[in-house]
Amino acid sequence: MAEPPPPRDPRANRPPLPTLQEHLGRIQSYLRGCGLLDVPAGAASVREDLARFMEDHGEETARIWADSIGAAFDIDDDELQFLAKDMREAQTRWLAHIRNPEDVATYAVLREHARGGFIAEHPPSRFLASQLKIRQILGDLLRRERAGTAELPDMLALLEEALWERVLHITDFFVEARLSERRRLELQLIQSEKMAAIGQLAAGIAHEIRNPLGIIMNALYDLAELLPDPPAEVEEDLQIARAEMGRAQEIINNLLEFSRDGSTEMQSVDLNRVLRQTLKLMNKHLQNSGVRAYTSLGHVPRCRLSENGLRQVLLNLITNAVQAMPAGGDLRVSTRARGSDRVLLEISDTGEGIPPERLGRIFDPFYTTKSPGEGTGLGLSVVHSVITNAGGTLDVTSVPGEGTSFCIELEADGERPPVGEV
């Protein structure tokens, strides 16, 4: 009987998301091919005129824009002040691109914001409408102050071209951001399903092995009692056997921790308090390893998860960070609130980093790059299990030779602790 075909990997045969330079080149190709580039990139005079006009009218543009969108989008005064400041900075980057098309900082920032910044928290139509409003304001100001001048038609044409170029970029950035998030969720789902299957297997193996290990430990104890003064070589063998049995027991405990559901252990935990306790516990180890620890603990809400599980997560991540810096380095730990219902924890190091080909496997059980006997390959698997059981997410970024950063997002649970306890 023929075997069924293997399940389709959603990552297979799927092109990667474009780089920024590829994206910029594609948009320029569309505009050029459709005959939408009326003002040549080398038309320095009109570009300089429009850029200077935008600089001179930056404050007026921001004020009119804020008054308009504040009512349209029902934005309160505090947020509106922040948005107006952000808009002035964005307009400065945009006019730099209008003045010199090779300056693409405006699109680098927009791309990052679309993938996780403030604008990503709202519908794309809201942001696009605000951009159209800026174009309308600038057009009205140009007609008011440059009416009847020879340069007005060219400046309006360049403004129109620059606006639609910006709209095309923004549209693609939002689409790319959604695709990036979808792929991240797909990978999370694949990882969760794999971990669940391995967790069930691990729990069964751990329980089956624990009983014979207990018998062996009792036998070693009896031997030590029967041989109160054994020869040196026998005593050495007994010590080795006990040490290896302890290591086997640790592996079993890790397997059980990895496979545990953990939902019955959920409690309200002060993340910053547990962090401080863990760093204090490991302070001597950090000093001996030449690692400098820096903390930036924000005033964050309590989190809902297993406190013992959280300690295990912190110990594993900090230990891994220290091991990645054999010559010493910097360890940075930070917490901050994300909205009213999420808390972010980031642990980063300046160590050796993880090669890209290994990064996708670091949460797999028993996968380790350490020498035999130095690691079981379960540390990060336990981290992943504890965080996902608590309804959190775990992301890692790494640059070989520069370091690694783990970013954990947890569910908030109630009010923030008093300021004095942060």
DSSP line for 157-185: HHHHHHHHHHHHHHHHHHHHHHHHHHHHH
Tokens of 39: 């003002």
Both tokens assigned to 54: 């935008």
Give the H or E element holding residue 236.
helix 232-259
DSSP per-residue codes, 13-29: T-PPPPPHHHHHHHHHH
More confident residue, 237 or 272: 272
Cα separation of the two ends of the chain: 64
pLDDT tens column, 325-337: 999 999 999 999 9
pLDDT in tens, 176-213: 777 766 666 666 555 555 555 666 666 666 667 777 88
Residue 390 · residue 268 · CB < 8 Å: no
Residue showing tokens 């910006």: 166
Report the predicted TM-score, pTM, of the whole model to 2 decimal places: 0.46
The amino acid sitting at 108 is: A
**CATH of the domain spanning 20-189:** 1.10.490.10
Which residue has tokens 């940075």? 332
How does pLDDT run across 50-67, given as a tens digit for each residue? Answer: 999 999 999 999 888 888
Q: What is the CATH code of the structural domain delimited by 264-421?
A: 3.30.565.10
Q: Give the model's pLDDT for residue 230.
A: 81
Domain residue extents for the chain: 20-189, 190-259, 264-421
Residues 6+ apart with CB under 8 A from 263: 389
Please give the pLDDT value at position 331. 95
pLDDT in tens, 220-241: 878 878 887 888 888 888 888 8
Is pLDDT larger for residue 270 or for residue 365? 270
Is 3.40.50 the CATH classification of the domain at 190-259?
no
Task: Taking residues 352-376, report their average pLDDT.
Answer: 68
Q: Please give the average per-residue pLDDT across 73-77, as a whole number.
A: 79
- Taking the C-alpha atoms of residue 200 and residue 402, their distance in angstroms, rounded to an integer, is 37
* Chain segment 292-318, per-residue pLDDT in tens: 999 999 989 999 888 888 888 898 899
DSSP 328: -
pLDDT at residue 272, as a whole number: 93
Q: What pLDDT band is residue 10 in, cutting at 50, 70 and 90? A: very low
- What confidence score (pLDDT) does residue 408 get? 93
